[in-house]
Amino acid sequence: MATLYLSLGTNMGDRQKNLSSALKLIDLEVGTVVSESDIMETEPWEFESSNRFLNMVIKVETDLQPVEVLHVTQEIERKLGRLEKSVNGQYHDRPIDIDLLMYDNITMSTPELTLPHPLMRQRKFVMEPLAQIAPELAGN
């Protein structure tokens, strides 16, 4: 079993329901959700929108490999209504966003996936919830 940290965010529709649905699907399709941060409400990051985000970080135990996790979480995003991913840093409103933050101690960089997530330390909406459930990883 590998330990995986995921960041979840939503700023469209019923945000609480989006997070709840994502958690259930992750638990069914990725692995066991063993820890959840509090949910925090934040302003959009790197784009303008009147829709505020709900964000959280979860710890998951999984048998899937990192790229398999990526593909499954992208499919969960589609199931929950996300039609397109952000491209070249052009962010937009979305019903759900699931980012892989860390997978065990793996460091990798491919065109498809970079671990640890290259922008996580710049994002307060990632680091504060991560610090709640894994302070040793957040530098706290």
Instruction: Give Cα 140 distance to the centre of its chain.
Output: 20
State residue 5's pLDDT score: 96
Torsion of CA 27, 109, 111, 1, to 10 degrees: -20
pLDDT by residue (tens digit) across 65-112?
Answer: 999 999 999 999 999 986 666 545 555 567 899 999 999 999 999 999
Least confident stretch, 1-5, 74-78, 121-125? 121-125
Which region, left, alpha or beta, applies to residue 139 given φ > 0 means left and ψ of -120 to 50 means alpha?
left
State residue 90's pLDDT score: 58
CA distance 68 to 76: 12
Confidence band, pLDDT 50/70/90 cuts, at residue 51: confident
DSSP for the chain reads -EEEEEEEEE-SSSHHHHHHHHHHHHHHHTEEEEEEPPPEEE--SSS--SPPEEEEEEEEEESS-HHHHHHHHHHHHHHTT-----BTTB----S-EEEEEEETT--EE-SS-EES-TTGGG-HHHHHHHHHH-HHHHT-
